[in-house]
Amino acid sequence: MRPLGTPQQLARTVSEALRTAILTGELRAGELYSVSALAAELGVSRTPTREAVLALAEAGLVTVARNRGFRVVRPSADQIADIFAVRLLLEVPAAGAVARLADPALLRALNAELAGMRAAARARDEPSFVLADRAFHDLVLGAAGNPVLAAVVAGLREGIVSLGSSTAGRSRSLRAIADEHVPIRVALAAGDAAGAERTMHEHLTRTRDLLVAQAHVRARG
């Protein structure tokens, strides 16, 4: 991670940096991390780093080991299923609503994120892939024009942030994940609300099923 300097609200800046590191797999679930070591790596003092870690603990993303550090938490199979149940209720109709807009600027932005996913897949750059994947979904949600919806889904994704694109290389390739987004983009471009809902549903349920299966495997040890 790059040094952050000392901007205002430094604890929030550190928290976002740690969230990104968790999302991209730079901070791995189960490993013990030192607050002091991370503070030094980020170029900040221990106080904002400690505050950032406590904020992540309140969000359920990490557990704090007193006087030792913290660990990134992996969600259980039931937690994953619950999160995706709500995401399906929200993101599927949102995709349909966005399809009715047929916004050329949105389609260009989606194309750019798809290109980013494909480039990252070719380079086997999973961190960059994860960020482009999330940006694709953020664009669709943002186009729905409901900031509450976008905020709720962002909160739901916090619960599985430690999983990143963990189905990649295990159940499907990065290219396969990227390809699942193509029918969504095609339906949006065609103004096909039913198709956008169907393809978003298929993508989310496939991701859910693979993540739940992996969680069951981890639980069995």
How would DSSP label each residue in the chain? -------SSHHHHHHHHHHHHHHTTSSPBT-EE-HHHHHHHHTS-HHHHHHHHHHHHHTTSEEEETTTEEEEPPPPHHHHHHHHHHHHHHHHHHHHHHHTT--HHHHHHHHHHHHHHHHHHHHT-HHHHHHHHHHHHHHHHHHTT-HHHHHHHHHHHHTTGGGTTTTBTTTB-HHHHHHHHHHHHHHHHHT-HHHHHHHHHHHHHHHHHHHHHHHHHHHH-
Longest dimension (CA), the chain: 56
Mean per-residue pLDDT over the chain, rounded: 89
1 in any annotated domain: no
Nearest to 182 by CA among 199, 204, 164, 158: 199
3 in any annotated domain: no
Q: What is the per-residue pLDDT across 50-109, written as a single tens digit (0 to 9) for each?
A: 999 998 898 888 999 888 899 998 888 999 999 999 999 999 999 999 999 989 999 999
> Order of strands, edge to edge, in the sheet holding 69-72?
32-33, 69-72, 62-65
Distance (Å, whole) CA 43 – CA 217 = 38
Among candidate residues 19, 46, 72, the one where a domain is terminated: 72
Same domain, 83 and 62: no
- CATH code, domain carrying 28: 1.10.10.10
Same domain, 108 and 188: yes
Task: Give the torsion sign (CA, 63, 69, 74, 76).
Answer: negative
Range of the domain at 35: 10-72
Whole-prediction pTM: 0.81
Same domain, 87 and 165: yes
Among candidate residues 38, 72, 106, the one where a domain is terminated: 72
Same domain, 48 and 104: no
At position 84, the amino acid (one-letter code) is F
Measured from the Cβ of residue 17, the count of other Cβ atoms closer than 10 Å reads: 21
Instruction: Please state the domain count of the chain.
Output: 2
Same domain, 87 and 141: yes
- CATH code, domain carrying 107: 1.20.120.530
Same domain, 50 and 88: no
Residue range 41-48: average pLDDT? 89
Q: Is the pLDDT of residue 206 over 80?
A: yes
Q: What is the per-residue pLDDT across 133-167, written as a single tens digit (0 to 9) for each?
A: 999 999 999 999 999 999 999 888 888 877 765 55
Same domain, 200 and 94: yes
Distance (Å, whole) CA 93 – CA 87 = 10
Among candidate residues 19, 40, 72, the one where a domain is terminated: 72
Same domain, 54 and 141: no
